Structure 1
């Protein structure tokens, strides 16, 4: 069961198209995975339509255009305006991601953009990352953590939105599973770790993370590895 969701503000800006491309992808993927947020998005769309059209009857031609509107096509058109990565990591399979012998099913929003997923690179410990080229100034990236992996305590110089695509990780405050969405800023310090399961996340960042604890602070010159 999904416990953590985007705020109402995030969902509103998702509906109105006011999120950055990276945030659009993260929030859209969460909506793919979450029936509760699908209902909330539908209600926001209805409220906006009511404000626009009021009690007036919608003209037949406008209603027909609305019935034929496809939000997936709009998202695909936005993504089509961004550069293509040079490497494809899905071996021609559009609906799953393959890494270290593991196969991860991709929700619809990600599956439609599988061709934008770049090469996997190993980070510190048993961690890998793969960028997702969506344009804009924010960085969108997959982060994979094998079992028994810990990210040193850190905060964020900007904002970070993280979605659990598959698996499980913990930090000092909670446990996060498939579909859980977190939005963190510089006021939060945490130490994500996996214990008995591995975890694949999708993260949108607008600035590098900042390591805050003990010897891990020596890693700060390399924090850009998570932000490129």
Structure 2
């Protein structure tokens, strides 16, 4: 069961296409995975349609049918994603594992770069949005750990598959976590590996022990 969701404001901005491209993809992928937020987004779309067109019960049927198309056009104007898909676009491969991609990520498979080994049991694959934003797949093998850190900006993390924990909670498939400089944590995996999608608007700030020596190079790990 998904415990952590985008805020009401983030879902409204998602529907209106007012998020950055990286957040649009991250929130959109969460919506793909979360029935609760799918229902919530549908309600927001209907309210937006009412605001634009008035009482939708008085509109011709073809206008009502086109309302969802209009919303899609608003979203895709910020980040075009339409193209033909092949079966291989539905999966991400790493270390002999195959991860099924939700629809938003599958439509953007062509944006996913090659995997690069990071520290310990961690791998990174960048997602090129053509906007200079930082969006990465981060894979943590079983027993991996990110050194304790805080955030110079904001970090949004979405669990695609698996589970990781920190000092505050446990995060599983579909959980959306938004952190900023008020938060400090040590993400790690225990009995399972974990694939996440993460976007940063500033490098991490390592805060504990020898890991603080990594701060001058922190942007290299999540570029």
TM-score, normalised to structure 2, is 0.91
1:57-97 CA-partner distances (Å, limit 9, x unpaired): 2256634533655728953982359xxxxxxxxx9711010
Asked if the contact 1:127/1:149 (under 8 Å) is kept, the reply is yes
- Once residues 52 and 70 of structure 2 are traced to their aligned partners in structure 1, the CA distance between those partners, rounded to angstroms, is 17
2:63 paired residue number: 62
2:32 paired residue number: 32
1:155 paired residue number: 150
Matches within 5 A, 1:7-156: 7-55=7-55, 57-59=58-60, 62-66=63-67, 68-69=69-70, 71=72, 75=76, 78-79=79-80, 93-156=88-151
Structure 1 unmatched runs, 5+: 82-90
Correspondence 1:167 to 2:180: no
1:91-147 CA-partner distances (Å, limit 9, x unpaired): 971101000011101000001111110011111111000000113242110000000
- Once residues 211 and 59 of structure 2 are traced to their aligned partners in structure 1, the CA distance between those partners, rounded to angstroms, is 60
- Once residues 4 and 215 of structure 1 are traced to their aligned partners in structure 2, the CA distance between those partners, rounded to angstroms, is 32
1:149-188 CA-partner distances (Å, limit 9, x unpaired): 1110001111111000000000000000000000111110
Provide the aligned length of Structure 1 versus Structure 2: 219
| Aligned residue among 201, 206, 210 for 1:215 | 210
Does the C-alpha gap of structure 1 residues 114 and 13 become closer, same or farther in structure 2, counting only changes over 3 Å? Answer: same
Structure 2 unmatched runs, 5+: none
Asked if the contact 2:25/2:104 (under 8 Å) is kept, the reply is yes
- CA RMSD of superposed structures (Å): 2.3
- Once residues 134 and 92 of structure 1 are traced to their aligned partners in structure 2, the CA distance between those partners, rounded to angstroms, is 22
1 or 2, which has the higher helix percentage?
A: 2
- Once residues 102 and 72 of structure 1 are traced to their aligned partners in structure 2, the CA distance between those partners, rounded to angstroms, is 35
